[in-house]
Copies of this chain bind each other. A is one copy, B any other.
């Protein structure tokens, strides 16, 4: 993980389809050497996968909300329960007054309400506190 690797990651985050020849030119390496670098980054798991960024509004997910989930029981291993709700994009165990923080995307606030209902059905969940997003300033990849 030297500086060249970090540069490659930064470029690939912006456009993962750039030819190795161009990539190499940007970092001062041959296409072959660049290919080898990227291959190893994948192998080591630094690059988890190549994916596409989809506009949430275009696929009927225009409403974004963060929900703090309170619980009475230990919910540290109920990740699958949250994963079963497709509208939940992220779920984290947190330190603080609440237990779980989830990021939810729905098409309407009614559907958001329905997601809350389904979360209450999870064993141990005793409360939710939803925060609706009015405007997203930015969402970007982690800077290497």
CB within 8 Å of B: which residues of A?
A: 1, 6, 9, 12-17, 44-56, 58-59, 61, 64, 66, 76, 79, 82-83, 86-87, 89-96, 98, 100-101, 105, 131-144
B49 adjacent to A52 (CB under 8 Å):
yes
Whole-angstrom distance between the Cβ of A19 and the nearest chain B Cβ = 13
What copy number does this chain have within its complex? 2
Whole-angstrom distance between the Cβ of A121 and the nearest chain B Cβ = 17
Whole-angstrom distance between the Cβ of A67 and the nearest chain B Cβ = 12
* A79-B50 Cα distance, complex, nearest whole Å: 28
A96 adjacent to B50 (CB under 8 Å):
no
* 8 contacting pairs across A/B (C-beta < 8 A): A9-B54, A16-B49, A45-B55, A46-B54, A50-B51, A90-B137, A90-B139, A101-B131
